[in-house]
Amino acid sequence: MLKKLIVANWKMAPESLAQAEEILDAVNGHIVSEDRDGLLLVFCPPFVFIEEVAKMLSGGPLGRIAALGAQDIAVQDTGAFTGEISGTMLTKLGVRYVIVGHSERRWKLGESDKTVNDKLKAVLRNGLVPIVCLGERTRGGDWEGFLREQVVATFGDLSSGDVSRCIVAYEPVWAISTTPDAQPDTPKSALEAIGVIKDVLATNYKLQTICCLYGGSVASHNAAGFVGVHGIDGVLVGGASVRKEEFVKIISIAYHQK
Ligand code: PGA
């Protein structure tokens, strides 16, 4: 039985392939020393490292419990779109998961709900698993209304069957480590927001269950709180996933959750 899912979103890091290798070596060494069955790790490196990371993940103990993810996908599968990487290309490289709707792409790079929805369709069309990021920008005002609208706009006209193939990552923008004055979130408030997301999915798509991750400054000091509660199926880790000692600790904490 899958205990917990841990997604490593490396963002625009590390700076070199050698550093990427060091992170994966550290995790590999850790898995050798203890049995990690029941955990699934998804590594989402920058595109330039994907091919090499795929090779590194395929051997050794890591190969048993790790899968490859991408941080983005093109809306189109073919055509002239400078700079884009298609789902067809990702599939050929061994990618199985794709992050869509990350707040940095929404708010820093201007991706609209419509674009996120189109990318979500591209992921599904290519037989990959979407990790759909959702989250309000602040906890003030009508945050719940904002989140509900974002969920509706993100999943849009997808069928219930398609939505059931998605993993949801609740990532409040105000708690993400790179947000200026980021505030620490608590498992209680994360569960409240995840409840809102699940309510929309139950009402609009008749979904009774969906895999839900939490992301937002997850590190070794707070991981137990998030991976240890019923209703959160794992974590999406950004900054701490490229700090190898820190990431290994998070894996260990997740493994030891009952
Ligand atoms: P963080 O990033 O863990 O550095 O806050 C999470 C994310 O943005 O996916």
pLDDT tens readout for residues 85-118:
999 999 999 999 999 999 999 999 999 999 999 9
Which secondary structure element, helix H or strand E, spans residue 12, and what is its range?
none
Most ligand 1 atoms within 8 A of CB, residue of 137, 176, 222, 250 to mutate:
176
Model pLDDT for residues 13-61, shown as the tens digit of each residue: 999 999 999 999 999 988 876 666 789 999 999 999 999 999 999 988 8
Q: What is the pLDDT of residue 60?
A: 81
Q: Which two tokens stand for residue 8?
A: 């490593």
Write the CA distances from 242 to 46, 87, 174, 238, 246, integer angstroms: 12, 25, 21, 8, 8
- Give residue 8 CA to ligand 1 midpoint distance, Å: 9
**Ligand 1 neighbour 237 (Cβ under 6 A):** yes
Look up residue 179 and give its amino acid: T
For residue 147, which of 205, 202, 96, 197 has the smallest C-alpha distance? 197
Q: For strands 66-70 and 97-100, give the pairing.
A: parallel
- Give residue 6 CA to ligand 1 midpoint distance, Å: 12
30 in active site: no
Residues 6, 31 contacting (CB under 8 angstroms): no
**Ligand 1 neighbour 9 (Cβ under 6 A):** yes
In the chain, the percentage of residues whose pLDDT exceeds 70 is 97
Q: Answer yes or no: is pLDDT of 166 > 80.
A: yes
